[in-house]
Amino acid sequence: MEKMNKLLYEASLEGNVTVLQILLQKDPLCLDKLTLNQLHDMPLHIASMLGHTDFVKEILTRKPKLSMECDSQRRLPLHIASAKGHVDIVKLLLLVNPEACSARDRDGMNPLHLAAVRGHCEVVREVVRARPHVARAMVQQETVLHLCVKHNQFEALKLLIEIVGDHEFVNTKDADENNILHLAVADKQIETVNFLQLNTTIEVNASNINGETPMDILAQGTRDTKDQQIIRCLTRAGAKTESLFEQNPSKIGFDNTKYHNKPHIKKDSKNNDDWLDKKRNTLMVVASLIATMAFQAGTNPPSGVWQEDSTVDPPHKAGTSVMVSNHPNLYHTFLVCNTVGFVSTLSIILLLISGLPFLRHRVFLWVLMVIMWIATTSMSITYSVSIWVLTPKPEAQPFKNVVNGIMLVWIGLMTLLVAGHAFNLMEIFHKSPVAKKKVALSPVIIQHT
């Protein structure tokens, strides 16, 4: 028996398939007996470690259940092949039993963890493809991404994020509530920090158990030439610091305000542009609708047009408005208000599509809004006149009282709006010298940086 075991051991070291076949012909249970009697130096584990693909294939063909046998460290052959990066053997083992991906060794690590910390990207790809959920398994409250950063395996980290990189997975925290950005910044892995900031939804302002953000972690380290690159990367992503930079910004040799003001300026500028774009789009839509209504009302006035000529009272011609003959004063009011609304909205449309640069300023946008208020007021008067003309006289008096009340409310609302926006304009003009002063100082700040 000892001789048989020795021959199996030597065959597994050499990957000698012929010897294995001869031994199995003599005793088909020799592999089972060896596995039963010892927990180390098992042929399948040895061949998986040394990369003897044909030898592993021969064993799996005859004894596929041996793929789930553990050694003294509770490692399966898949653990060993993954740690060594033998992709072909990993594929064979996964084909026999893909559930081996979830098995953990004595340290709590599954085959994916072992492959990732050693940077075997092809093995990582095969294991995740076989069982994607194993990527979320944690060992000692750390994800496989934490392990990649700790062992500086950027390519494996990149691959895992590309395959499984949802928001929750990327932002999972360890026992100290550090996300992977905390660890990358602490180890000053510039490539990893850049990748996380540009290609993931990593939370750059997440706090760990001590309330420290990644920027705070950077402030605690020694001064290094890599610091400035990491600072620029983090500030582009809107990173903040809780307290350490404000207390001692010179600790890592940079002015906190110099780096933290610029992102906010860009962010405020972007928000301002978004607000202006939304307002312009809204004005364009509303102006187009009002212009359409005004044109329709002007070409087809209330009560319609006369269908034929007549010399009797009131005299009229075919195609002229009935309203101008029956209600001349109201018709003039209707025509003036409708024309004001039509011309106002056409002016807004023309200005918006002209693309003039000064229209991107808030003041000119507010001017367009004032014109829109005039247009809407004119159209409301046009509507009131139209309903008044179309309503029979006995029922007109109650309607007149209602219209008067509505008009008073409308005038009050417009007064409040005009007053509010006038106050805003005054406040902006009042603050403009300060803004100009900041703009004048900005070249000095930029030159200093």
Three-state secondary structure string covering 260-300: HHHHHHHHHHHHHHHHHHHHHHHHHHHHHHHHHHHHHHHHC
Q: Give yes or no for a contact between 174 and 207, defined as CB atoms under 8 angstroms apart.
A: no
Domains of the chain: 2-165 (1.25.40.20), 272-448 (no CATH)
Residue 45 has pLDDT above 90, yes or no: yes
Answer yes or no: are the C-beta atoms of 33 and 66 closer than 8 Å. no
Check residue 94 and give its pLDDT: 95
Three-class SS state of 256: helix
Residue whose entry in the numeric block shows the structure tokens 């044109």:
295
pTM over 0.85: no
122: pLDDT strictly greater than 90: yes
Please give the pLDDT value at position 90.
96
Label residue 442 by pLDDT band (50, 70, 90): very low
Q: How far apart are CA 326 and CA 177, in angstroms?
A: 81
Residue-level pLDDT at 447: 38
Q: What pLDDT does 156 receive?
A: 95
pLDDT attached to residue 359: 58
> Is it the case that residue 70 has pLDDT exceeding 60?
yes
Buried/exposed code over 129-143 (b: 16+ C-beta within 10 A; e: otherwise): ebbeebbebebeebb
Evaluate if residue 305 carries a pLDDT over 90.
no
pLDDT tens column, 350-371: 887 776 665 566 667 777 878 8
Residues 124-148 have a mean pLDDT of: 94
pLDDT of residue 290 exceeding 50: yes
Segment 168-188 shows an average pLDDT of: 93
Determine the average pLDDT of the residues in 79-89. Answer: 96
Strand, coil or helix: 142:
strand
pLDDT tens, residue by residue, 226-259? 788 888 888 888 877 544 444 444 444 444 443 3
